[in-house]
């Protein structure tokens, strides 16, 4: 994991959805840094706000969303990678690039949350920030074959007419898809094949930052590992990846750090090895205890409704360590190598006593 300055700094990101009779607290006061060469995994139960995070960064939220905070993207780092695809010609590269994607030394960071929709569409999405969507079947154009979608994407981002078909086949192989399957329409693809095509489309522009929202959905275990290793190799080559997943084994396999999200908030963020060996938040420990190779014990109770969150710790109702102090929202404090938002964080000695030999 690199120690360079963050490529993306998210500070105080808060997302609310206004309904006729309620407000959904989808993401609350989220802080996160992602550096070049780093893979950060965000994990948690369904409905905790993980996917909303990715969509907020790219301006893909519905009209009833209110977004506050900052998401600063360093365009100098983005530019240094976005033009690195070796198969592009200089003329094609400048034709497919953008002012934001090219960046420049000393360029001021761009706040993704403040970008106008036109700028996000033309200069950010797919160029400097790629997205592997959670539901690829609904994001693929139904009247174009996979090959046409992929070739058009490659052409739009600098590949020549002659090179794009070759690059498309190469990308298909990279994501574990038979190049012959590119000649099918989206409705002719299985869920796993559509997922791999969506991954290839996200990788085609060689973005310096990739948001991978449940990229292994519908894949069998060998293809899950293949996809995870592909993301890891991108980081090793200098890109940054935000992996959103409910698969703790996937996070443990490839992530540098893991952020645990619960009821719209990140409650713990720590290096992967430290978190899996000695989680600090009781919710993190409960998630790990639910793994088959551990206690195989479900997390007790149910998450609160995002329309009716308590004033204090949202996990208190499910936590056997809760006290009256938990009626106040806990601040982040340092624990081991990471950070945890808990009034009563677990100590390493307690965890060692609970884990069977």
Q: Specify whether 14 is located in the same domain as 98.
A: yes
The reported pLDDT for the residue numbered 120 is 96
pLDDT tens digits, one per residue of 39-70 = 999 999 999 999 999 999 999 999 999 999 99
Q: Specify whether 285 is located in the same domain as 141.
A: no
Does residue 183 fall inside a structural domain? yes
Q: Specify whether 240 is located in the same domain as 306.
A: no
Q: Specify whether 174 is located in the same domain as 298.
A: no
Does residue 268 fall inside a structural domain? no
121-147 mean pLDDT = 93
CB 319, CB 282: distance < 8 Å: yes
Identify the band that residue 356 occupies on the pLDDT scale cut at 50, 70 and 90: very low
222-239 mean pLDDT = 96
Q: Residue 111: which CATH number?
A: 3.40.50.300
Q: Specify whether 286 is located in the same domain as 224.
A: no
Cross-strand bridge partners of residue 338: 335
Three state DSSP letters for 242-310: EEECCCHHHHHHHCCEEEEEECCEEEEEEEHHHHHHCCCCHHHHHHHHCCCCCCCCCCCCCCCCCCCCC
Q: Specify whether 63 is located in the same domain as 177.
A: yes
Does residue 139 fall inside a structural domain? yes
Identify the band that residue 75 occupies on the pLDDT scale cut at 50, 70 and 90: confident
The Cα 285–Cα 101 span in angstroms is 40
Q: Specify whether 289 is located in the same domain as 250.
A: no
CB 171, CB 105: distance < 8 Å: no
- What do you get for the CA distance between the two ends of the chain, in Å? 30
DSSP string, 158-183: T--TTHHHHHHHHHHHHTT--GGGGG
DSSP string, 103-153: --TTPPPEETTTS-HHHIIIIIBTTTEEEE-S-GGGTS-TTS-HHHHHHHH
Q: Tokens 């690195």 map to which residue?
A: 84
pTM of the model: 0.90
Name every residue whose Cβ is closer than 8 Å to that of residue 26 and which is 6 or more positions away in sequence.
15, 16, 17, 49, 52, 65, 264, 306
Task: Classify residue 248 as left (phi > 0), alpha (psi -120 to 50) or beta.
Answer: alpha
The reported pLDDT for the residue numbered 105 is 57
The Cα 258–Cα 264 span in angstroms is 16
Cross-strand bridge partners of residue 286: none
Domain membership of residue 68 as a residue range: 8-255
Does residue 57 fall inside a structural domain? yes
CB 229, CB 14: distance < 8 Å: no
Q: Between these two residues, 350 and 327, which has the higher pLDDT value?
A: 327
The Cα 342–Cα 312 span in angstroms is 10
Looking at mean pLDDT, say which of 81-85, 114-118, 136-140 comes out highest. Answer: 114-118
Give the number of domains in the chain: 2
The Cα 181–Cα 144 span in angstroms is 13
pLDDT tens digits, one per residue of 137-196 = 788 999 999 999 999 999 999 999 999 999 999 999 999 999 999 999 999 999 999 999
Q: Tokens 């905790």 map to which residue?
A: 48
87-96 mean pLDDT = 38
């Amino acid at each position: 994991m690199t120690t360079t300055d963050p490529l993306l700094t998210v500070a105080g990101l808060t997302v609310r959805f206004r309904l006729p009779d309620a407000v959904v607290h989808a993401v609350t006061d989220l802080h996160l840094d992602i550096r070049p060469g780093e893979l950060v995994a965000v994990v948690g139960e369904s409905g905790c706000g993980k996917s909303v995070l990715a969509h907020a960064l790219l301006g893909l939220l519905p009209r009833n969303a209110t977004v506050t905070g900052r998401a600063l993207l360093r365009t100098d780092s983005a530019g240094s990678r976005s033009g690195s695809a070796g198969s592009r010609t200089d003329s094609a590269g400048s034709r497919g690039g953008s002012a934001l994607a090219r960046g420049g030394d000393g360029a001021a960071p761009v706040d993704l949350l403040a970008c106008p929709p036109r700028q996000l569409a033309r200069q950010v999405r797919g160029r400097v920030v790629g997205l592997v969507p959670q539901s690829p079947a609904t994001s693929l154009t139904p009247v174009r074959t996979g090959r046409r979608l992929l070739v058009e994407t490659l052409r739009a981002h600098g590949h020549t007419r002659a090179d794009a078909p070759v690059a498309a086949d190469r990308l298909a192989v990279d994501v574990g898809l038979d190049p012959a399957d590119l000649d099918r329409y989206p409705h002719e693809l299985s869920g796993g094949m559509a997922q791999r095509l969506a991954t290839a489309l996200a990788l085609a522009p060689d973005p310096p930052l990739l948001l991978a929202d449940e990229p292994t959905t519908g894949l069998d275990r060998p293809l899950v590992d293949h996809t995870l290793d592909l993301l890891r190799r991108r980081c090793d080559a200098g890109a940054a990846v935000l992996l959103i997943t409910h698969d703790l084994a996937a996070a443990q396999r490839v992530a540098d750090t893991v952020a645990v999200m619960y009821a719209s908030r990140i409650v713990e963020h720590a290096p992967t090895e430290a978190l899996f060996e000695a989680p600090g938040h009781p919710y993190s420990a409960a998630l790990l205890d639910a793994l088959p190779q551990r206690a195989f014990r479900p997390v007790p109770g149910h998450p609160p409704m995002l329309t009716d969150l308590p004033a204090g710790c949202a996990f208190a109702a499910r936590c056997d360590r809760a006290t009256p102090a938990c009626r106040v929202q806990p601040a982040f404090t340092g624990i081991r190598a990471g950070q945890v938002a808990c009034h009563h964080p677990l100590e390493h000695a307690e965890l060692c006593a609970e884990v069977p030999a």
